[in-house]
Amino acid sequence: MTTEKLLGHTRLFLMQGDITRQNVDAIVNAANSSLMGGGGVDGAIHRAGGPTILEECKQIRAMHGQCAPGEAVITGGGNLNARFVIHTVGPIWHGGSTNENIILANAYRNSLDLALQYEVRTISFPSISTGAYGYPLEQAAEIALTTVIEFCQNIAEQQLLDEVRFILFDQFTQSTYKAALQKLSNEDMP
Ligand code: APR
C-alpha cells in the first residue's frame, strides 16, 4: 500500500519494496564510511549495480578519504536502472547522546543537496540507520520525514524535484513511516 503526499511541487511516496529495483534518477545507499560495501542496502546495491560502483567508490576514497557520518558522495548507477547512486553514511545509534539525530538529518539533507547538483528529479531513499546501525525506527522515521519535508518546502518555488520516495523493506517499517507522516501532517493518510 503506497502512501502519497504533495510537498509543494514534489510528490512524497512511502512504498514497500527493494530499492535496487527503483526506476528513478538516483537511489540512496545506506553506506559505511569506508564506502567499500557491506550488508543490507549497501550489499544489495553493490550486488545489483555491479563492480563499477565499487570502482568509483575506490576513486572517491583515493581522492577524498572516508565518507564521514552525515556526508554524501555520488557515483554512477552501474547496472541499476537509476543513473546515480548517492552513498550516505548514517549515524550508528549509541543511545542518542552523540548527536545521532543531527547526523541522520544531515545524511538526508546532504543527499538531497547532492541530488540537486546533478539535476536529479526523482530520488529513492531507504530507511537510513534503522538496520545494522540500530537507530530506533520511530525516531528515525520522524527525522527522515521532517528533513525531507523541510527541504522540499524550501525549494518549492524552483520546482527542482518531482518525486522523493521512501522504499521500505518490510511492512512494519512502512507502517511506522506512515504513522510518522500522519503525526507530522496532523492528518490521516490513505
Ligand atoms: N531495499 C530497501 N531497503 C532495504 C534493502 C533493500 N534492498 N535491504 C535492506 N533494507 C532496509 C533494512 O531492512 C533497514 O530497514 O534498509 C534499512 C537500513 O538497513 P541497513 O542496510 O542495515 O543500513 P544501516 O542501518 O544504515 O547500516 C549501515 O550496514 O550494510 C551495512 O555497509 C553498511 O556498515 C553499513 C551499515
Q: Span 10-29, mean pLDDT? A: 98
The catalytic residues are 42
Grid coordinates of 52: 563499477
Grid coordinates of 60: 572517491
Confidence of residue 145 (pLDDT cuts 50, 70, 90): very high
Domain annotation covers residue 189: no
Confidence at residue 1, expressed as pLDDT on a 0 to 100 scale: 86
CATH of the domain at 64: 3.40.220.10
Q: Is the pLDDT of residue 168 over 80?
A: yes
Taking only the tens place, the pLDDT of each residue in 34-83 is 999 999 999 999 999 999 999 999 999 999 999 999 999 999 999 999 99
User: Does residue 20 line the site of ligand 1, with CB under 6 A?
Assistant: yes
The residue range of the domain holding 34 is: 3-184
Domain annotation covers residue 63: yes
Q: Whose grid coordinates read 520525514?
A: 145
State which H helix or E strand residue 45 sits in.
Answer: helix 40-49
Question: Residue 72's CB: how many other CB atoms inside 10 A?
Answer: 23
Mutate to test the pocket of ligand 1, among 16, 19, 24, 41 (most ligand atoms within 8 A of CB): 41
Domain annotation covers residue 162: yes
Q: Total domain count for the chain?
A: 1
Q: Is the pLDDT of residue 188 over 70?
A: no
pTM of the model: 0.97
Q: What average pLDDT is seen over the chain?
A: 97
Percent of the chain with pLDDT over 70: 98
DSSP state of 158: G
